[in-house]
């Protein structure tokens, strides 16, 4: 499903969480799609199942997925209430990237245009 | 249902004690040891037997079944030691010890399974060999004499083979148990193997070493039967070196019990064994010290005793002890770095112990030498000395006064030990044996100079007592038809022995009877002084007497237990007594005369001349005519003349009188060598084309006591 | 669950383990790390019921392991020093294991043989060291252990085989809640597999934590200010501090939020927070001050 980067500074647990989120955000995993079971995923990635368990729990707690006992984990319907902490973090990241672009010499207008492009591509609700 | 569950639970419970898979696996892994052992048994016993199957020699069967067969003995040792080392090898390596103990076994299970499979491995070859022997059983007869008739007894019997198998079982079990114990207290395979063998012979070696010390330092020490018996009975392995080679039931049970005890004890040691010590030399501190001390003990003793032979005093013990300590420490600590303070302390302690032992022996700390028993605790006292008692029969005394005389004499010897201890010259070898009221036996053996005996008042009284006549009285009780008497000339003579054989002829027996009676009278009437005079005999008399064995079970069943009793395979016990007859034996000499046997008496017959001189060691200064020198016996070309310190006698009567009535065979009656004159007899020896004279006999004469005629001539010639 | 309580062990005059406590949750993979001579192997020999403790207990789900056949039947142990019966091949060893481990799984054994491609008839002594490790692994895993203790398991194995090995381990953990304790120096690999870490030093447990928590509690901070002022960040637990030019490196043991809030107050020009790898955590916890270790890191 996705590759882990063992060299990365990011812990495996984080990578799993982030990768799942990416797949959901990109639309590869649609709402109510079933995620691979802990066993399957741990065997495929050769990763500690507890780590995967933890990642799934985190995703569940932040509303990205829901569990049905006996059946497994499924992708949630889209969220309407963004998590402020997450939003703050991502906005910070955008802020830093924008600053960098400006530093490189890109005109502010062009930066704004690029951002609009991305928003239009994704659509408003997904 | 319930039974099924119970059975499973029981099985699981049992596997706490014993693991069948492990035991089987051990057999699978180490079968080679068993095969090698079996091969040795077969090559030493069955194969040679098969090769000569049509005509098997009885000694072959006997040596097999009594283990007097080096191949068998080697195999027993090899099997017991190798099996123990192989089966417990897993303890001697960190990797294997971890894996084995992490597996689902308890130490109990590991121990029992390993012990059992090792024991099976060690004994199975003997079992197979035994069964093979039973299969191949065929009668092999040995001739045995019962009532003078030869009887064939089968030595290859079922009982014999079963007895062998039982004997080997106890030997192997005993040695194996000790070998397993050795493995439990050592940490490396090499040391396990060494101690497995060493501990098996430890007691014997210790006992032997202490006997060695006793021999060296204890004035009067001698081996008696009990001492040798103990030495061999310390282990069933050495037990079979005894003549019989068979282990009786009681001893068998004894050894097995000891083996079982050792096995149980080893289990408890296993429980306590710190497994982290694998590959160290020893596993327990105590063992380290113990083995280290043993090396010191044996090294010091061995080298010390050797040096002692060469008069280096205690130097050998010190040297051997230091060497032993260094080597022992290196072995036990597995490093060359043993020179530290801690080890110095240990060395001092060991040195102290060795010093106590050695000095204890050399200074007779326990009073062995000084010990003369108390009259009240002695039942009988026996003196046995080759030259002292006629016929070489020991004299046993049980009357209180006589026993006291023996003790007095003994005390005198003990008091004079400073002087007697190093005495090497010619004298009396004397053994004193006491049967104590406690049932034990005490013996001492001394080499004493002649004066010690001849001047002993105690001995004189003893030998003139009536009890001293007992050995002689035995002569009167001989069954004459079972008695053989041979008469030899004393001194050089070509007249052969005259033998009166075993016979049923009344006349012949009558003569023998008369001779014995005469001898008896002489012996009874002999004074102590005459007994110890050292006068040259005129005749040698030898009595050979045979007695039927009452206590053997040589009746006539088909198969008898194949181990013969005494010297011959007959039903008789033989005893021989020899007497040196001097002119003091008047009655005996009269019998000789009456029976026309005087030619047997020592005389000048066949001798050419005799030479009397002061020079009693002609070998020291050979004269011009003397060409050969064998100490006292010389050969010369020319008949000498009287003069220059020599008196030559040619009159046969004169010579005969001298040798019968004035001659002595050693210097015991003289105060010094200078006092004695020497009498040498010569015969004509014809060699091819030239003549030579050779000495035939050598005697001492007392200058103060010569017959008239000779005395004058002696004065004349000998002073020159 | 494996619990070690108050374990003490001395050899002659040397104290190897001193009041050691270890806790391994059921179904977790516990990584035991420590410098050479810290007592890892000694601990493992106690865990496998080989050594007798001087004091303390080793308990597997309520049962002490020493002399306990019931627990040992469910324990799989692969030592650093492998041991096989002399001249045996895999088939012989398997038939022995089959008899003493009641849960022996023959189909799995056969499957693993196939997968690892080892010859059943060849003497194990003739295998290379790596193949011997594989053989040990196959035999051990085929006993379907509830507890698995591995001492330097992946030494000498190529990456493909390593992957296979871990896959089996991880599947059994997922499938059967197998409890695993691994001792290794390969911290990178451990990082990817373990969920708990125990750091042993001088016979004592220095740190025993969930790996994630361990990582979230320690951060590498690169920080730079416009001015050259010396600042002490008193509210922070700083393990290591180093100035390189105008950028300062801090190793801080605190929660990420706390660190951020404290540092952002100072309005730094540059503030980067990075997680540490397990290797780095180990090095810092064990002896970060020495210069050789510094040069390793950067």
CA dist C221 and B68 (Å) reads 88
Domain of B31 in residue numbering reads as 11-198+246-275
CA dist C199 and C123 (Å) reads 38
Same domain, yes or no: B41 and B89: yes
Q: Per the structure, how many domains does chain B have? A: 5
Q: How many residues does chain A have?
A: 126
Domains C2-211 and C217-297 share a fold: no
- For residue B30, give the chain C residue with the closest CA: C86
ipTM of the complex: 0.90
Contact A/B (≥3 CB pairs under 8 Å): no
CA–chain centroid gap for B87, Å, is 39
- For residue A9, give the chain C residue with the closest CA: C275
What DSSP element (H or E) covers B695?
strand B690-702
CA dist C107 and C142 (Å) reads 9
Report the gap between the CA of A121 and the closest CA in chain C (Å). 32
Mean pLDDT for the stretch of residues B492-500: 84
C209 touching chain A per CB within 8 A: no
Domain of A93 in residue numbering reads as 84-122
Between A95 and B128, the higher pLDDT residue: B128
A74-122 per-position pLDDT tens digit: 998 876 566 677 788 888 888 888 989 999 998 989 988 988 888 887 7
CA dist C6 and B626 (Å) reads 99
Is the Cβ pair C275, A42 closer than 8 Å? no
C27 touching chain A per CB within 8 A: yes
> Which residues of chain C have a CB within 8 Å of the CB of A8?
none
C215 touching chain B per CB within 8 A: no
Report the gap between the CA of B26 and the closest CA in chain C (Å). 10
Mean pLDDT of chain A: 84
Q: Which structure tokens are listed for B274?
A: 């710190």
Is the Cβ pair B104, C51 closer than 8 Å? no
Same domain, yes or no: B133 and B254: yes
Say what the pLDDT of residue B79 is.
Answer: 96
Q: List chains adjacent to chain A, taking adjacency as at least 3 C-beta pairs closer than 8 Å.
A: C
Q: Which residues pair with B432 in a beta bridge?
A: B383, B444
Tell me whether residue A17 is in a domain. Answer: yes
Tell me whether residue A26 is in a domain. Answer: yes
Say what the pLDDT of residue C241 is.
Answer: 85
Q: Which structure tokens are listed for A75?
A: 């992708």
C contact test, residue of B15, B21, B102, B114 with most C CBs within 10 A: B102
Is the Cβ pair A6, C194 closer than 8 Å? no
Say what the pLDDT of residue C29 is.
Answer: 95
Same domain, yes or no: A29 and A63: yes
Same domain, yes or no: B102 and B180: yes
**CATH of region C217-297, choose from 3.10.530, 3.30.70, 3.40.1000, 3.40.50:** 3.30.70
Is the Cβ pair A9, C275 closer than 8 Å? yes
A contact test, residue of C195, C276, C281 with most A CBs within 10 A: C195
Is the Cβ pair A6, C166 closer than 8 Å? no
Is the Cβ pair B98, C79 closer than 8 Å? yes
Chain C from 157 to 196: CB within 8 A of any A CB: 163, 166-167, 170-171, 173-175, 188, 191-195
Cβ–Cβ pairs < 8 A, chains A and C: 57
Transcribe chain A into DSSP letters: -----TTSSS-HHHHHHHHHHHHHHHTSS-TTPBPPPHHHHHHHHT--HHHHHHHHHHHHHTTSEEEETTTEEEEPPPPSS--HHHHHHHHHHHHHHHHHHHHHT--HHHHHHHHHHHHHHH-S--
Tell me whether residue B93 is in a domain. Answer: yes
Tell me whether residue B616 is in a domain. Answer: yes
Q: Which structure tokens are listed for B693?
A: 């004279």
Tell me: pLDDT of C295 over 80.
Answer: no
> Which residues of chain B have a CB within 8 Å of the CB of C50?
97-98, 101-102, 275
Mean pLDDT for the stretch of residues C95-113: 95
C73-94 per-position pLDDT tens digit: 999 999 988 999 988 999 999 9
The predicted model scores a pTM of 0.82
B566-625 per-position pLDDT tens digit: 334 445 677 888 898 999 999 999 999 999 888 888 888 888 888 888 866 544 444 444
CA dist B177 and B235 (Å) reads 12
Same domain, yes or no: B176 and B308: no
Other CB atoms within 10 Å distance of the CB of residue C163: 12
Transcribe B430-477 into DSSP letters: EEEEEEETTS-EEEEEEEEEHHHHHT-HHHHHHHTSSGGGHHHHHGGG
- For residue B276, give the chain C residue with the closest CA: C51
A contact test, residue of C175, C181, C212 with most A CBs within 10 A: C212
Share of chain C above pLDDT 90, in %: 54
Mean pLDDT for the stretch of residues C177-197: 90
Rg over alpha carbons for chain C, rounded to the nearest Å, is 23
Same domain, yes or no: B339 and B317: yes
Same domain, yes or no: A62 and A113: no
B657-706 per-position pLDDT tens digit: 988 988 988 888 887 777 788 888 888 877 767 778 888 888 888 888 88
Closest CA to B232 of B258, B257, B255: B255
Same domain, yes or no: A49 and A102: no
Is the Cβ pair B105, C100 closer than 8 Å? yes
Report the gap between the CA of C62 and the closest CA in chain A (Å). 23
Is the Cβ pair B15, C67 closer than 8 Å? no
Same domain, yes or no: B399 and B328: no
B79-121 per-position pLDDT tens digit: 999 999 999 999 999 999 999 999 999 999 999 999 999 999 9
> Which residues of chain C have a CB within 8 Å of the CB of B21?
96, 99-100
Q: Which structure tokens are listed for C8?
A: 């003490």
What is the torsion angle, in degrees rounded to the nearest 10, for the CA atoms of residue C256, residue C260, residue C261 and residue C267? 170
Report the gap between the CA of B114 and the closest CA in chain C (Å). 14
Residues 6+ apart with CB under 8 A from C12: none
Other CB atoms within 10 Å distance of the CB of residue B270: 22
Share of chain A above pLDDT 90, in %: 8
- For residue A14, give the chain C residue with the closest CA: C212
> Which residues of chain C have a CB within 8 Å of the CB of A46?
163, 166-167, 170, 192-193
Same domain, yes or no: A115 and A64: no
CB of B394 closer than 8 Å to CB of B383: yes
Same domain, yes or no: B153 and B263: yes
Domain positions in chain C are 2-211, 217-297
Same domain, yes or no: A71 and A94: no
With H, G, I as helix, E, B as strand and everything else as coil, classify residue C201.
strand
pLDDT band at B312 (very low <50, low <70, confident <90, very high): confident
B173-215 per-position pLDDT tens digit: 999 999 999 999 999 999 999 999 999 999 999 999 999 999 8
C81 touching chain B per CB within 8 A: yes
C289 touching chain B per CB within 8 A: no
Tell me whether residue B240 is in a domain. Answer: no
Tell me: pLDDT of C298 over 50.
Answer: no
Q: Which of B254, B275, B296 is the last residue of a domain?
A: B275
Same domain, yes or no: B134 and B22: yes
A88 touching chain C per CB within 8 A: no
The shortest CB-CB distance from A42 to any of C28, C174, C274 is to: C174
The shortest CB-CB distance from A10 to any of C29, C170, C275 is to: C275
User: Which CATH code for domain C2-211?
Assistant: 3.40.50.300
The shortest CB-CB distance from C50 to any of B101, B104, B106 is to: B101
> Which residues of chain C have a CB within 8 Å of the CB of B15?
69
Q: Which structure tokens are listed for B54?
A: 């049509």
The shortest CB-CB distance from C167 to any of A4, A12, A43 is to: A43
With H, G, I as helix, E, B as strand and everything else as coil, classify residue C189.
helix
Report the gap between the CA of C191 and the closest CA in chain A (Å). 9
Same domain, yes or no: B78 and B152: yes
B contact test, residue of C83, C91, C98 with most B CBs within 10 A: C83
CATH number, domain with residue A36: 1.10.10.10
C137 touching chain B per CB within 8 A: no
C160 touching chain B per CB within 8 A: no
A103 touching chain C per CB within 8 A: no
With H, G, I as helix, E, B as strand and everything else as coil, classify residue B493.
coil
Report the gap between the CA of C256 and the closest CA in chain B (Å). 44
Report the gap between the CA of B278 and the closest CA in chain C (Å). 12
C49 touching chain B per CB within 8 A: yes
Say what the pLDDT of residue B629 is.
Answer: 45
Mean pLDDT for the stretch of residues B140-157: 76
C11 touching chain B per CB within 8 A: yes
Is the Cβ pair C171, A43 closer than 8 Å? yes
Closest CA to B283 of B187, B190, B191: B187
- For residue C12, give the chain B residue with the closest CA: B285
Is the Cβ pair A9, C277 closer than 8 Å? yes
Residues from B in contact with C at Cβ < 8 Å: 12, 15-16, 19-22, 25, 28-29, 93-109, 274-276
Tell me whether residue B92 is in a domain. Answer: yes
A38 touching chain C per CB within 8 A: yes
> Which residues of chain C have a CB within 8 Å of the CB of A4?
192
């Amino acid at each position: 499903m996705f590759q882990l980067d063992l060299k990365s500074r990011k812990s495996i647990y984080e990578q799993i969480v982030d990768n799942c989120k990416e797949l959901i955000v990109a639309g590869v995993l649609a709402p109510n799609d079933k995620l691979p079971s802990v066993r399957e995923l741990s065997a495929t990635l050769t990763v500690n199942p507890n780590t995967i368990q933890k990642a799934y729990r985190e995703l569940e707690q932040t509303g990205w997925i829901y569990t049905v006992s006996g059946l497994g984990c499924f992708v949630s319907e889209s969220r309407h209430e963004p998590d402020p902490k997450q939003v703050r973090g991502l906005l910070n990241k955008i802020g830093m990237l924008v600053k960098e672009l400006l530093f490189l010499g890109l005109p502010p207008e062009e930066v704004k245009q690029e951002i609009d492009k991305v928003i239009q591509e994704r659509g408003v609700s997904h | 249902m319930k039974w099924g569950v119970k059975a499973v639970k029981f099985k699981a419970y049992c596997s706490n004690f014993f693991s069948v898979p492990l035991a089987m696996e051990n057999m699978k892994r180490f079968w080679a040891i068993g095969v090698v052992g079996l091969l040795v048994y077969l090559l030493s016993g069955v194969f040679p037997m098969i090769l000569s199957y049509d005509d098997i020699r009885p000694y072959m069967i006997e040596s097999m079944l009594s283990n007097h067969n080096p191949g068998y003995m080697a195999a027993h040792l090899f099997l017991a030691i190798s099996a123990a080392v192989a089966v417990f090898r897993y303890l001697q390596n960190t990797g294997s010890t971890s894996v084995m103990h992490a597996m689902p076994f308890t130490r109990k299970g590991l121990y029992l399974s390993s012990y059992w499979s090792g024991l099976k491995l060690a004994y199975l070859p003997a079992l197979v060999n035994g069964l093979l022997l039973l299969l191949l059983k065929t009668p092999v007869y040995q001739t045995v004499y019962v009532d003078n008739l030869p009887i064939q007894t089968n030595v290859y019997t079922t009982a014999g083979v079963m007895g062998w198998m039982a004997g080997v079982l106890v030997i192997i079990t005993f040695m194996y148990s000790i070998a397993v114990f050795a493995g439990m207290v050592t940490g490396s395979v090499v040391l396990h193997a060494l101690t497995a063998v060493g501990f098996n012979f430890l007691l014997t070696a210790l006992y032997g070493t202490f006997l060695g010390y006793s021999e060296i330092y204890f004035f009067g020490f001698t081996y008696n039967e009990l001492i040798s018996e103990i030495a061999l009975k310390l282990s069933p392995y050495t037990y079979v070196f005894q003549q019989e080679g068979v282990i009786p039931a009681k001893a068998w049970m004894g050894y097995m019990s000891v083996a079982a005890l050792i096995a149980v004890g080893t289990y408890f040691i296993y429980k306590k064994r710190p497994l982290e010590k694998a590959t160290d030399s020893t596993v327990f501190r105590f063992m380290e010290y113990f083995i280290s001390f043993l090396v010191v003990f044996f090294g010091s003793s061995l080298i010390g005793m050797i040096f002692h032979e060469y008069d280096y005093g205690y130097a050998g013990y010190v040297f051997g002890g230091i060497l032993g300590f260094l080597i022992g420490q290196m072995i036990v600590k597995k490093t060359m770095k043993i020179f530290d303070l801690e080890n110095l302390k240990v060395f001092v302690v060991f040195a102290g112990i060795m010093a106590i032992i050695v000095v204890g022996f050399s200074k007779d700390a326990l009073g062995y030498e000084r010990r003369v028993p108390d009259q009240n605790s002695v039942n009988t006292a026996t003196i046995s000395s080759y030259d002292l008692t006629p016929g070489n029969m020991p004299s046993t005394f049980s009357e209180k006064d006589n026993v006291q005389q023996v003790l007095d004499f003994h005390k005198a010897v003990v008091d004079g030990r400073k002087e007697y201890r190093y005495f090497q010259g010619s004298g009396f070898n004397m053994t004193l044996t006491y049967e104590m009221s406690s049932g034990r036996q005490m013996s001492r053996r001394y080499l004493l100079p002649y004066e010690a005996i001849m001047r002993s008042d105690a001995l004189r009284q003893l030998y003139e007592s009536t009890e001293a006549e007992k050995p002689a009285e035995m002569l009167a009780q001989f069954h004459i038809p079972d008695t053989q008497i041979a008469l030899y000339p004393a001194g050089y003579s070509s007249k052969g022995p005259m033998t009166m054989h075993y016979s049923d002829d009344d006349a012949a027996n009558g003569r023998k009877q008369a001779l014995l009676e005469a001898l008896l009278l002489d012996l009874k009437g002999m004074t102590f002084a005459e007994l110890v005079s050292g006068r040259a005999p005129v005749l040698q008399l030898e009595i050979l007497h045979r007695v039927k064995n009452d206590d053997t079970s040589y009746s006539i069943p088909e198969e008898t237990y194949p181990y013969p009793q005494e010297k011959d395979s007959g039903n008789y016990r033989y005893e021989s007594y020899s007497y040196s007859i001097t002119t003091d034996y008047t009655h005996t000499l009269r019998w000789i005369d009456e029976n026309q046997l005087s030619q047997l008496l020592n005389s000048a017959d066949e001798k050419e001349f005799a030479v009397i001189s002061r020079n009693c060691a002609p070998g020291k200064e050979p004269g011009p005519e003397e060409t050969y020198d064998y100490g006292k016996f010389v050969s010369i070309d020319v008949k000498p003349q009287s003069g220059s310190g020599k008196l030559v006698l040619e009159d046969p009567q004169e010579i005969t009188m001298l040798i019968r009535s004035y001659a002595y065979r050693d210097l015991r009656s003289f105060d010094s060598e200078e006092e004695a004159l020497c009498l040498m007899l010569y015969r004509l020896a014809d060699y091819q084309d030239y003549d030579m004279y050779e000495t035939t006999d050598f005697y001492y004469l007392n200058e103060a006591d010569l017959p008239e005629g000779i005395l004058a001539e002696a004065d004349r010639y000998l002073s020159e | 669950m494996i619990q070690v309580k108050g374990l003490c062990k001395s050899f002659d005059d040397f104290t190897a383990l001193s009041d050691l406590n270890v806790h391994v949750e059921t179904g977790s993979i516990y990584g035991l790390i420590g410098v050479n001579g810290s007592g890892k192997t000694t601990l493992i020999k106690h865990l496998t019921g080989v050594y007798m403790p001087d004091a303390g207990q080793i308990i597997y789900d309520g049962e002490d392991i020493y002399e306990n056949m019931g627990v040992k039947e469910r324990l799989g142990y692969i030592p650093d020093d492998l041991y096989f019966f002399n001249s045996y091949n895999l088939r012989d060893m398997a038939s022995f294991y089959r008899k003493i481990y009641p849960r022996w799984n023959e189909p799995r054994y056969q499957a693993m043989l196939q997968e690892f491609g080892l010859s059943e008839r060849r003497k194990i002594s003739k295998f290379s060291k790596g193949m011997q490790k594989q053989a040990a692994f196959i035999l051990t895993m085929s006993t379907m252990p509830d507890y698995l203790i591995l001492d330097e398991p992946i030494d000498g194995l190529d990456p493909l085989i390593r992957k296979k090995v871990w896959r089996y381990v991880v599947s059994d953990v997922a499938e059967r809640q197998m409890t695993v304790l691994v001792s290794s120096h390969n911290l990178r690999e451990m990082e990817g597999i373990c969920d708990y870490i125990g750091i042993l030093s001088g016979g004592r447990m220095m740190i025993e934590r969930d790996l994630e928590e361990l990582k979230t509690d320690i951060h590498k901070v690169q920080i730079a200010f416009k001015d050259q002022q010396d600042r002490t960040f008193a509210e922070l637990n700083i393990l290591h501090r180093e100035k390189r030019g105008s950028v300062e490196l801090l190793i801080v043991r605190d929660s990420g939020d706390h660190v951020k809030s404290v540092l952002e107050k100072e309005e730094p020009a540059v503030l980067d927070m990075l997680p540490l790898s397990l290797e780095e955590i180990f090095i810092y916890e064990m002896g970060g001050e020495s210069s050789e270790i510094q040069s390793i890191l950067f």
